[in-house]
A and B are shown apart, each in its own frame.
Chain A
């Protein structure tokens, strides 16, 4: 079983839609969680950290469910510029402090 799993998509949604991605992790001792955004042929950039109580940044909401071992990212009112790959990152997923990356979920927002 992979340590961090994501649905690769693509998720194809119209502008203005709400879309949600999940990411599951296998190690219950995992310590910290992040969502990154990666544009085509560019480096990953931190979108937001994920806190136990859930957190919001504008149109983006991240949540952590430790009991079921997944994190989620919700994007409201999707924009064309949200089209990208979203990477889930878990520190400690492999039993060490090394970050483990999911393979990413592709989002395409169309007019």
Chain B
């Protein structure tokens, strides 16, 4: 079974802080994704990566950056956290064979005060 691990289930940070969300997968998948999910808006893609050191913007990249230094790890960075970034953040992976389903981590519920 694919295991996707997010570093924190719950996180509380202050406005202006730099926030790091980590995601680690154990199945050697090429593709990794970061989403945020808000009530009524569904899942929205922030960034994705299809290989080490490769990254692509999703639908809502503003205020975020990412890092993929190793295949198994994909980090989401909030450069200067703001209250409108309070949300549920979900990491997902799938393999190079792109007709496969995604596998999700447990999610990080981030609150920015």
Contact = CB atoms under 8 A, between A and B. Distances in A.
Given A32-B99, A34-B101, A104 B107 contact: no
A41 interface: yes
Given A31-B99, A91-B98, A91-B99, A102 B42 contact: yes
Chain B: number of interface residues, binned into ranges = 20 to 34
Interface string B60-101: 000000000000000000000000000010100010001111
Interface residues of A, number: 21
Interface string A65-103: 000000000000000000000010101000001110111
A111 B40 CA distance: 27
A31 B98 CA distance: 9
A97 B98 contact: yes
A41 B90 contact: no
A43 B106 contact: yes
A46 interface: yes
